């Protein structure tokens, strides 16, 4: 599938914002998952009428493939500038694929407190490839790509987001 | 034998035995990882599940409180099972050899050994002996190395000073007998600190210490002039008995860090000490408890640095 068939990231973010806005409560916070989810959460935060700051979550310490891949990737700090206890959390990621990252993210959040609710918003849902019983409440677009390809959210120097297909080595 | 017994065939860290010979990228990776572990202590549940189901044995053939405790806390925050063995009191007194002890503990499904031993090279010997899946961390061997202390010291320096490339660092005291000083010097020079000084009487300096890339001073006023970091070393009482020094009072007069002597350093200089401190011997209480002292933050950062080391090793 050539790159130009992937949807435009900004369009997806605008669509997501429109869908999320009516469901916001004063207790809602956005939490982006590093790295693509953090970029998406930042943009959504700018479009949505939320008073609380958004959080950034690194799931490296909660991944289920640590025994296979170790701690190689550059770690990003987790920053949650609010109490997680009792909060309405909207978890944001770029791509929902196997569901394993979201499982790790929920475990990480629970080590900070007991949220009242966690929902999930993703730019792209890779349908048919789920390995865990996880689904997103807000989906920008669905896509079906072969297993040897990944969908990456990338950010250019001007801060513009776009989606790109990458071959898995 | 591979060029560096600490590295696996892909160049990843398999054991941490000494900082000497490790590339800067590995040190930086450890420091960056430690930075992420700082936030774990801010969680409601101060634990991450990385080493769940792993067994870490703290083998302390020499007494230690701070190092053993911080290794234990670090392993527990990684969700490992920790078994503490103070070996003076058990098998060694029954005549079992070091490697027999290690074999027996390996048969108990050990995944990692954290080793403190009075003999230089003990951790290396264990690392050469253990099965491929077992990792070894040197928690201090004789006069040779104490790599996690060196790493937590440079982590502390980076926390307060940001960068390494523009720093002057002075290490003061008994460099001759200090495994801590050796690890600090290797860490500082590897990370690109342009000026590392050692300040000590001649009797407490190793011969040819300059070959480690340090400048030698015997006078505190000159040696501390304009430094950004002052690292004090513990003076062990037995050095006095060994006739290397006249008396603790005499030592304090010339080499003890007092507010007057610290005034030679840069006004923003930080004061560090690996502990345990001898107040009134190598450091004055007014300095140890003063606003430039970062001695207690060093202890806190030691937990995050040891978490980083153990999780990187276990993942390689």
Q: Tens digits of per-residue pLDDT, B130-164?
A: 999 999 999 999 999 999 999 999 999 999 999 99
Q: Which residues of B touch A61 (CB under 8 A)?
A: 36, 40, 48-50, 311
Of B99, B82, B81, B89, give the one whose Cα is nearest residue B62: B89
B24-145+300-315 topology per CATH: Rossmann fold (3.40.50)
Structurally, chain A folds into a number of domains equal to 1
- What is the spatial distance between Cα B189 and Cα A130, in angstroms, rounded to a whole number? 49
Asked if B17 and B6 count as a contact pair (C-beta separation under 8 A), the reply is yes
Half-sphere exposure of B279 (CA within 13 A, CB side): 7
**pTM, to two decimals:** 0.90
Does the CB of A65 have a partner CB in chain B at under 8 Å?
no
Which segment of A80-94, B45-59, B108-122, B243-257 scores lowest on mean pLDDT?
B243-257
Query: What local confidence, expressed as pLDDT, does residue A17 receive?
Result: 97
Does the CB of A148 have a partner CB in chain B at under 8 Å?
no
Q: How does DSSP assign A35-91, residue by residue?
A: THHHHHHHHHHHHS---SPPEEE--GGG-TTHHHH-S-SPP---B--S--TT-EEEE
Whether residue B97 is predicted with pLDDT greater than 90 in this model: the reply is no
* Closest CA–CA distance from residue A167 to any residue of chain B (Å): 23
Cis ω before A35 (30° cut-off from 0) = yes
- For the domain spanning B147-294, the CATH number is 3.40.50.1370
Q: Where in chain B is the domain with CATH 3.40.50.1370?
A: 24-145+300-315, 147-294
Range of the domain at A117: 3-65+75-167
Collect all residues with Cβ–Cβ distance below 8 Å to B94 and sequence separation of at least 6: none
Taking only the tens place, the pLDDT of each residue in A134-151 is 999 999 999 999 989 999
**Which residues make beta-bridge pairs with A122?**
A93, A139
Most confident range (mean pLDDT) of A48-52, B83-87, B187-191, B312-316 is: B187-191
Half-sphere exposure of A111 (CA within 13 A, CB side): 24
Burial zone of B64 (CB within 10 Å; 0-12 exposed, 13-18 middle, 19+ buried): middle
Q: Is residue A70 part of a domain?
A: no
Q: Which residues of B touch A72 (CB under 8 A)?
A: 315
Most confident range (mean pLDDT) of A3-12, B102-111, B186-195, B241-250 is: B186-195
């Amino acid at each position: 599938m050539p790159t130009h068939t992937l949807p435009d990231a900004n369009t997806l973010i605008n669509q997501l914002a429109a869908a999320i806005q009516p469901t916001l409560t004063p207790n809602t916070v956005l939490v982006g998952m590093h790295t693509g989810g953090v970029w998406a959460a930042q943009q959504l935060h700018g479009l949505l009428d939320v008073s609380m700051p958004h959080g950034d979550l690194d799931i490296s310490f909660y991944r289920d493939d640590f025994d296979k891949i170790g701690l190689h990737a550059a770690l990003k700090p987790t920053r949650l500038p609010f109490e997680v206890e009792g909060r309405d959390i909207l978890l944001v990621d770029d791509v929902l694929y196997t569901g394993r990252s979201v499982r790790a993210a929920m475990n990480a959040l629970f080590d900070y407190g007991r949220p009242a609710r966690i929902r999930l918003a993703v730019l792209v849902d890779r349908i048919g490839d789920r390995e865990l019983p996880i689904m997103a409440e807000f989906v920008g677009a669905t896509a079906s790509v072969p297993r040897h390809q990944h969908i990456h959210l990338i950010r250019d120097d001007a801060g513009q987001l776009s989606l790109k297909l990458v071959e898995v080595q | 034998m591979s060029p560096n017994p600490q590295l696996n065939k892909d160049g990843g860290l398999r054991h941490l035995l000494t900082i000497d010979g490790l590339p800067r990228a590995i040190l930086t990776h450890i420091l960056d990882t430690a930075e992420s572990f700082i936030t774990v202590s801010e969680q409601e549940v101060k634990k991450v599940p990385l080493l769940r189901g792993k067994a870490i044995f703290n083998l302390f053939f020499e007494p230690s409180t701070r190092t053993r405790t911080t290794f234990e806390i670090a392993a527990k925050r990684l969700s490992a099972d920790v078994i503490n063995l103070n070996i003076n009191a058990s098998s060694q007194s029954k005549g079992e050899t070091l490697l027999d002890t290690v074999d027996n503990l390996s048969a108990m499904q050990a995944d990692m050994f954290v080793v403190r031993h009075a003999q230089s090279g003990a951790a290396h010997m264990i690392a050469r002996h253990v099965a491929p899946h077992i990792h070894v961390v040197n928690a201090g061997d004789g006069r040779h190395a104490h790599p996690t202390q060196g790493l937590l010291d440079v982590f502390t320096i980076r926390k307060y000073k940001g960068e390494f490339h523009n720093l002057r660092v002075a290490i003061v005291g008994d460099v001759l007998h200090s495994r801590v000083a050796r690890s600090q010097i290797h860490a500082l020079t590897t990370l690109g600190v342009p000026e590392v000084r050692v300040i000590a009487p001649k009797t407490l300096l190793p011969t040819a210490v300059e070959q480690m890339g340090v400048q030698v001073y015997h006078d505190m006023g000159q040696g501390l002039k304009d430094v950004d970091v002052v690292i004090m070393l513990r003076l062990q009482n037995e050095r006095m008995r060994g006739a290397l020094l006249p008396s603790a009072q005499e030592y304090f007069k010339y080499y003890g860090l007092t507010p007057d002597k610290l005034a030679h350093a840069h006004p923003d200089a930080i004061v560090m000490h690996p502990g345990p401190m001898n107040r009134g011997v190598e450091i004055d209480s007014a300095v140890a408890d003063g606003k430039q002292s970062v001695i207690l933050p060093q202890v806190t950062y030691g937990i995050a640095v040891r978490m980083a080391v153990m999780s990187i090793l276990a993942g390689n």
